[in-house]
Amino acid sequence: MQVLSVNVSKPVEIIYRGEAVMTGIYKEPVNGRVALDTLNFDGDAQADLVAHGGPFKAVYIYPHEHYATWAEELDRDDLTYGQFGENLTTTGLLETTVHIGDVFRIGTAILEVTQPRVPCFKLEHKMAIKGFMKTFMQSQRSGFYLKVLEPGEVGAGDEIALVRKGQGEMTVDEIFHLLYFDKSNRVKAAAAAKLPALSPGWRGSFEQMAQ
């Protein structure tokens, strides 16, 4: 398991449906080691702090294994690190094997997996493909967010080490599928709501499903 690229950006203005909107999705790879605190990598920021960012979504990881699949499905050869708005492009970490609550040492930082990623219109704008939000959701290749337990520094080439597995051992893929494609499963929803590392927003959704 390894970091291939660290990607950051400050918010920039885009035009969406005739209106100016700020977004931090246009991540670019950076060289060297990058400091990570409890909210952001140095040089990174989110524009909409209601929908993005915060301690439970401080870092977004996207598996590089998905890049080849997307390139084939979309007939694209221009996908570069940070393409999906991720802070870390990685290898060896897949939604089907990573659990909510898994804790990893990445560089000198310690991070905990908190939830899958749900796309917004800004990803569709960046990809320049109408309907890509729906395509991304249906693929279930979501990537995932992490909380910073111990700040540190991260750089391309850093190894990623599992410190401990998350309590409950429910994978990112399982959680994502449950919320969006298995809404009638109250038993699983109740179990998901009890995951101690799950972000508050997702916990609330599963609590409602369980009832």
Residues 71, 125, 46: CA angle, nearest 5 degrees: 105
Cβ 7 vs Cβ 41: under 8 Å: no
pLDDT at 106: 98
pLDDT of amino acid 24: 85
- The fraction of the chain above a pLDDT of 70, given in percent, is 98
pLDDT tens for residues 70-95?
Answer: 999 999 999 999 999 999 999 999 99
Nearest to 118 by CA among 131, 129, 133, 128: 133
CB contact burial 178-197 (16+ within 10 A = b; e otherwise): bbeeeeebeebbeebbebeb
Instruction: Count, in order, helices (H) and strands (E) of the chain.
Output: 6, 12
pLDDT one-digit tens code per residue, 91-125? 999 999 999 999 999 999 999 999 999 988 889 88
Rounded Cα distance, 199 and 146, in Å? 9
pLDDT confidence of residue 145:
97
DSSP for 29-43, written as a single string? EE-SEEEE-SS-BTT
How far apart CA 115 and CA 93 sit, in angstroms, is: 14
Average pLDDT over residues 23-30: 92
Q: Answer whether residue 47 shows pLDDT above 80.
A: no
H-type alpha helices, the chain:
65-74, 121-127, 132-139, 172-181, 186-193, 200-210
pLDDT value of position 45: 83
Closest CA to 94 of 64, 115, 68: 64
pLDDT digits (tens, 9 = 90+) for 141-182: 999 999 999 999 999 999 999 999 999 889 999 999 999 999
Mean pLDDT for the stretch of residues 121-131: 89
Q: What is the mean pLDDT of residues 130-147?
A: 95
Classify 51 as helix, strand or coil.
coil
**What does pLDDT average to over the chain?**
94
Give pLDDT, residue 116.
98
Q: Please say if the pLDDT value at position 210 is more than 80.
A: yes
pLDDT at residue 125, as a whole number: 87
Q: For the chain, how far is it from start to end, CA to CA, in angstroms?
A: 39
User: According to the model, what pLDDT value does residue 94 have?
Assistant: 98
Q: How far apart are CA 171 and CA 165, in angstroms?
A: 10
Stated pTM of the model: 0.94
Cα 102 to chain centroid, rounded: 14
Percent of the chain with pLDDT over 90: 80
Distance CA 137, CA 127 (A): 14
